[in-house]
Structure 1
């Protein structure tokens, strides 16, 4: 049924969009592609799983703690890895290579601590109830994923568009040097951006763990590939583009599985992305951001 597939696509696309938001936020403000984002996404799901299964915390409290913990890790990565490279005016490839190393380290630590096999949230972590509207069936998991994703995305969009903090971040995205001369605490906002991006990645990790009921140390790499595709499709550094691009990728994947075959899932989705980028190489929302001064 087409309408049911749209619900499934909205659920999957919401998670992709949430993951890509943190990714594009770092690129838009810091001007780097943080390739450790997928590993932090994976770690967030493990932290929530540990808190739920071992400490009997509620899922939502566990998710909040996971976001805070991964946000702190994002700050540590920025302080220890990205900040020294910024001060040395390192080439653009240096942060990418450095964060690849961070991702490999986090993945190997997770594999050593939790094992390579898939883990699952305990039965009953979230109610198994569903809402039926005609022939449509919306489970509690799907409803929670869509609501949490859209709430976090809207909050981020409002912060960026309507607050003094958002204006300061946009100023830094345009020119860090000019922002510094205007009295903006550039380094402090770099750290805050890293915190927010990692926290969003952790939230996406928890939601993916709930959606697929499978958590593994290697779940971050496929999501990283899709996150890169989403932010390129939407326009590098553009929050609206990350949201719409994530939803588009979710629709493309679900519809290809429903009406073609699961074997063609990624081929169809990335093929459509390729065709769109042939028409609009800079993405759906304008040109790629360029730093000035």
Structure 2
């Protein structure tokens, strides 16, 4: 019983990180139609922000704030410098810009900071576990679940109960009409990138807390999987991004826990095989996004 509970907690914890990252991708895509492959570098920036903040003894809570602020600042910077001039470009131009920003930032990290992984010391309390009577659950997985729930709840409140959030939801349906209504398009897009930066920052803290280090390629694999999660859920839909993240997390943990040892090295192949099957049955994703005009 304890084994199944621990695996369930691990699946929710991992799925939550994928959901946060997939949601960051979906927020930007739903408004400007851009797959931001530099989203992984936002996560890396946050990781380095956490590393340097802890290195100067700011304390973990302040270090987390610094990490999130660093991700938001970088998101706004790349939106202003790289993506805003390309906003009316075609899909190919936007994708090339996205890849170029990702590579440039990665090279800057490798040459300006370090090409090797750098350990990020975490408080010893995070390495412990909590006795629930029927199971021992790690502090970090539980923290990941709580942080994910708070982040998703906060985003939901922001989108439904603020003027800017309402404008973002409207822009996801028809950006041209939003412009005609006099809502500043640049502000809406900038806020979307800022929101993606916040989500990347939270995900970076949870990821670093689990692995204990940061390196220039830290964000590549998680965001690649988050992109797969967004596709599973229905690209462009926020609810679908969350659902896809949790589905992918559950698939990875289930395969890791229950596949025979002889075929465990092929875990990712099994996961992707199931993903392909899902997309064959549901080509538009688990929760298809409502289509709207973006220009």
TM range (shorter): over 0.9
Q: Which position in structure 2 is the counterpart of 1:42?
A: 44
Q: Output the CA distance in 1 between the equivalents of 2:103 and 2:280.
A: 33
Alignment of 1:113-192 (within 5 A): 113-124=112-123, 126-192=125-191
Deviation (angstroms), 1:125: 5.8
Deviation (angstroms), 1:123: 4.9
Q: Output the CA distance in 2 between the equivalents of 1:120 and 1:37.
A: 22
For residues 48-104 of structure 1, give each alpha carbon's deviation from its aligned partner in whole angstroms, at most 9, with x where no partner exists.
011102x11122211111111211111111111111112xx2111111111111111
Q: TM-score, normalised by structure 2?
A: 0.93
Q: Output the CA distance in 2 between the equivalents of 1:200 and 1:41.
A: 9
Q: Output the CA distance in 2 between the equivalents of 1:114 and 1:66.
A: 16
Q: Which position in structure 2 is the counterpart of 1:60?
A: 61
Q: Output the CA distance in 2 between the equivalents of 1:265 and 1:120.
A: 27
8 Å contact from structure 1 (residues 22, 201) kept in 2: yes
Deviation (angstroms), 1:292: 6.0
Q: TM-score, normalised by structure 1?
A: 0.93
8 Å contact from structure 1 (residues 145, 207) kept in 2: yes
Q: Which position in structure 2 is the counterpart of 1:110?
A: 109
Q: Which position in structure 1 is the counterpart of 2:237?
A: 238
The 1:288–1:120 alpha-carbon spacing in structure 2 relative to 1, beyond 3 Å, is farther
Q: Output the CA distance in 1 between the equivalents of 2:175 and 2:241.
A: 23
Q: Output the CA distance in 2 between the equivalents of 1:13 and 1:156.
A: 17
8 Å contact from structure 1 (residues 235, 242) kept in 2: yes
Q: Which position in structure 2 is the counterpart of 1:75?
A: 76
Q: Output the CA distance in 1 between the equivalents of 2:286 and 2:53.
A: 39
8 Å contact from structure 2 (residues 34, 94) kept in 1: yes
Give 1:274's match in structure 2, choosing from 266, 273, 276: 276
Q: Output the CA distance in 1 between the equivalents of 2:228 and 2:248.
A: 9
Q: Output the CA distance in 1 between the equivalents of 2:6 and 2:235.
A: 31
Gaps of 5+ in 1: none
8 Å contact from structure 1 (residues 131, 137) kept in 2: yes
Q: Which position in structure 1 is the counterpart of 2:6?
A: 4
CA RMSD of aligned residues (A): 1.7
Structure 2 residue matching 1:56: 3-state secondary structure = coil
Structure 2 residue matching 1:47: 3-state secondary structure = helix
Q: Output the CA distance in 2 between the equivalents of 1:75 and 1:126.
A: 34
For residues 132-155 of structure 1, give each alpha carbon's deviation from its aligned partner in whole angstroms, at most 9, with x where no partner exists.
123422222122211111101111
Q: Output the CA distance in 1 between the equivalents of 2:207 and 2:125.
A: 13
Aligned length: 290
8 Å contact from structure 2 (residues 25, 36) kept in 1: yes
Q: Output the CA distance in 2 between the equivalents of 1:144 and 1:128.
A: 11
Deviation (angstroms), 1:289: 2.7
